[in-house]
Structure 1
Amino acid sequence: MKDTSTSPAGTSTPAADRARTAARHELDRLWAAGTDFLGTEYAILGGAMSWVSERHLVSAISNAGGFGVIACGAMSPELLETEIAATQALTTKPFGVNLITMHPQLEDLVQVCLRAGVGHIVLAGGIPPSSAIRAIREGGARVIAFAPALVLAKRLIRMGVDALVIEGAEAGGHVGPVSLTVLAQEILPHITEVPVFVAGGIARGDAIVGFLEQGAAGAQLGTRFAAAAESIAHPRFKEAFIRANARDALTSVQLDPRFPVIPVRGLVNDGSQRFLTHQAETLRRFQAGELSKDEAQLEIEHFWAGALRRAVIDGDVETGSVMAGQSVGMVRSVQSVEDIIAELVDQAVEALIRRSDRREH
């Protein structure tokens, strides 16, 4: 039996050092497709979170060896240009920009990214238009898109995207109905043409290793980074994450199928309860003829207007929208981005050491 323990003084033995070095080389091999594509040391992306994924957090992730992603959200082209320049002032490492495909100025936003020399553009919020994919690639950048099903993954590859993200329902914010565990089994064995990054509910490095061994190129994390020291989120927002358990991060409830509610995962609070009351009152007014169907739908959709900013920036975690993934249960403290990434890598390496030990013994 090999000795991979540490000495009584706590220093590593030569055998342990060799095992760790071998495991780190194996990790580098497993996510090489991801690191090569992103141009980073680690194939760890920051999820694009509105109000959170801005210059400070994005640059911190990139400086720590990961890949930060600016959340453009509803920004104007002028605001995005400013945010990219501010991020470039804080890091010389690669980072990307997440654009919402439904943004009315999508083409202008793409051009802002290209002029600024952004190398990777993430298109989110629906099937991206072919014109945007073509413009990005002709401008010398790479396109990343979200694939919620195998058939769509294949379609996106035919459209010319350079990489995919498959995001499970465990994620925070706007989510689809399928868990990452199922999506990984559905998609990873069949998509080898482009790198595929996994997202949703990931908070540990050993979990990342499991998906890498299934064929993933890397992982995207949001919730853990939202509570990082460099995140501009309000201290009360971060404290809510630290207090929460996985079961506290639920998707929004829809009362009537005639009035669809986009599923958004966040921490249940007074706002969640008031939303149910608001839906019930809106339905009563619709049935009483006080509101048309379109008016009622708008009443429901407008309930959360500004609620994410209230929670993230103002710290209103009682009535604001505290978007969080189920991995929030593994957020135990406010850590620096560098420490979070180092911890993830260490957990991944330890998992590979354990697997190697089991094979040898």
Structure 2
Amino acid sequence: MAMETLVTQSPGDATERAAARARLDRLWAAGTAFLGSEVAIMAGAMSWVSERHLVSAISNAGGFGVLACGAMEPDRLAEEIAATQALTSRPFGVNLITMHPRLDDLVQVCLAAGVSHVVLAGGIPPGPAIRALKDGGAKVIAFTPALVLAKRLVRMGVDALVIEGAEAGGHVGPVSLTVLAQEVLPHIRSVPVFVAGGLGRGEAILSYLEQGAAGAQLGTRFAASAESIAHERFKAAFVRANARDAVTSVQLDERFPVIPVRGLSNEGGRAFLRHQAETIRRYLDGDLTKEAAQLDIEHFWAGSLRRAVIEGDVENGSVMAGQSVGMITAVQPVADIIAELVEQAVDALVRRDRVTGES
């Protein structure tokens, strides 16, 4: 029993921990200054999940919440922004999809509402949208999967970058965060760079801060939080899952591209494989044109994320989750998640000091 107590107690006395926390705050000072938050922990924008309640809870707890606009029309986005502002006086951002047909109108909605930060996702952000946001006083954040695009985005005027590894949930690229960090962080110093993908503990966040990151973006842990509106069966699936259960969608034929999406393995994923095979067979038999076959494959998942998140159909819906899902052992309040991440980073710093004898 004594050994168990020793293992679970946080190391260090109050003075040691205060010094370690001060070092952590210095490490992510560029991130907190940019976001206007107490800690440089951004929330990933997740469709059907990142709405007013979760976003405001994250900002109120000292992090930085981000609304997921997704396919919302301008009036609907304006309503959600206003509802979030009614729940928090702290900064939060809005994630806009660059392929949205009314992107320009959504930009104006954000500016009219006084949104401080806008994340442009889902492709290379158009120059006019970046200029409009910056001219309107908003800070622009964009995603980059490689150093060459990071440099291009900085030249285009974005104010911060997110590098997201393949370990993340939802739509992902092919490169791990471990590799992206080595490729990008040593070379991009003019704007804050936030890391994302597979992050579930404070020690990991600390390691990237020490490599030059300004902060971290997490999605999966917040999706299973108490304040998340996701169905209880959705959250329970996260608690049950192991890291290896979060897999990317499989493409059967290169002639029919499938955008890789990481989610929990279930009957829906297996049905998608069968659907691809049947659709390809129908194309080869001449029953479908190539265009019709591609649309048939793409439409398979229509509405499936909502079925999983809102309706709780975790067997047939799309249960998007990153590989950090294996670190979720319970549904926790957002404030506890953020406090735990901070304490884990502080613990790591205290332990290191005790080994090295540094002050």
User: TM-score, normalised to structure 1's length?
Assistant: 0.96
Is 1:36–2:41 an aligned residue pair? no
| Alpha-carbon distance in 2 for matches of 1:124, 1:358 | 42
Letter paired with 2:74: P
RMSD in angstroms over aligned alpha carbons? Answer: 1.5
Aligned to 1:219: 216
The CA distance in 2 between the partners of 1:141 and 1:280, in whole Å, is 46
Count of aligned residue pairs for this structure pair: 353
Report the secondary structure of 1:118's partner residue: coil
1:166 CA drift (Å): 0.2
Amino acid at match of 1:303: F
Deviation string 1:9-33 (CA, Å, 9 cap, x unpaired) is x9999x7111101000000000000
State the shift of 1:162 in Å.
Answer: 0.1
Q: Distance in 2 between matches of 1:236 and 1:27?
A: 36
Task: Give the corresponding residue for 1:194.
Answer: 191
The amino acid that maps onto 1:145 is: A
Change (3 A) 1:21 1:269: same
Please give the residue correspondences for 1:284-299 in structure 2 after superposition, counting only pairs within 5 Å.
284-299=281-296
Quick check: 1:101 aligned with 2:98? Answer: yes
Q: Distance in 2 between matches of 1:267 and 1:183?
A: 24
Kindly provide the amino acid, as one letter, of the partner of residue 62 in structure 1. S
SS in 2 for 1:89: helix
Q: 2:352, 2:291 → 1: CA distance?
A: 57
Task: Give 1:208's aligned residue.
Answer: 205
The aligned counterpart of 1:152 is 149
1:104-123 alignment runs, 5 A limit:
104-123=101-120
Residue 321 of structure 1 aligns with an amino acid whose one-letter code is: S
Quick one: which of 352, 357, 360 aligns to 2:357?
Answer: 360
Q: Whole-Å Cα distance in 1 between the matches of residues 343 and 38 of structure 2?
A: 14
| CA deviation profile, 1:139-180 (whole Å, cap 9, x unmatched) | 000000001000000000000000000000000000000000
- The 2-side partners of 1:271 and 1:169 are apart by 21
Query: Counterpart of 1:301?
Result: 298
Taking the aligned partners of 1:345 and 1:85, their CA distance within structure 2 comes to 30
Matches of 1:277 and 1:322 in 2, distance apart?
A: 18
Residue from 230, 242, 251 that aligns with 1:254: 251
Q: Which residue of 2 aligns with 1:346?
A: 343
SS, match of residue 220 in structure 1: strand
What code does the residue aligned with 1:230 have?
Answer: E
Correspondence for 1:180 among 172, 177, 181: 177
CA offsets 1:89-134 (integer angstroms, 9 cap, x no match):
0000000000000000000000000000000000000100000000
**2: CA distance between counterparts of 1:305 and 1:356?**
52
TM-score by length of 2: 0.97
Partner of 1:313: 310
Query: 1:231 matched to which residue of 2?
Result: 228
Deviation at 1:358, TM superposition (A): 1.8
Task: Report if aligned partners of 2:10, 2:347 keep a CA contact under 8 Å in 1.
Answer: no
The residue number in structure 1 matching 2:18 is 21
**Aligned partners of 1:189 and 1:11: how far apart in 2?**
35
C-alpha distance in 2 between matches for 1:255 and 1:234: 31
Aligned equivalents of 1:315, 1:18: Cα separation in 2: 46
Q: Secondary structure at the match of 2:119?
A: strand
Name the structure 1 match of 2:62.
65
Using the aligned pairs only, state the percent identity.
76
Match of 1:4 in 2: none
- Name the CA distance, whole Å, in 2 between partners of 1:162 and 1:58: 21
Of residues 331, 346, 349, the one that matches 1:334 is: 331
- Of 32, 35, 47, the residue aligned with 1:50 is 47
- Per-residue CA deviations over 1:171-217 (Å, capped at 9, x if unaligned) read 00000000000000000000000000000000000100000000000
Residue number in structure 2 paired with 1:277: 274
Runs of 4+ that moved beyond 3 A:
10-13
CA distance in 2, matches of 1:351, 1:147: 29
The residue type equivalent to 1:238 in the other structure is K
Q: 1:144 aligns to what SS in structure 2?
A: strand
The answer on 1:84 being equivalent to 2:65 is: no
Q: CA deviation at 1:247?
A: 0.3
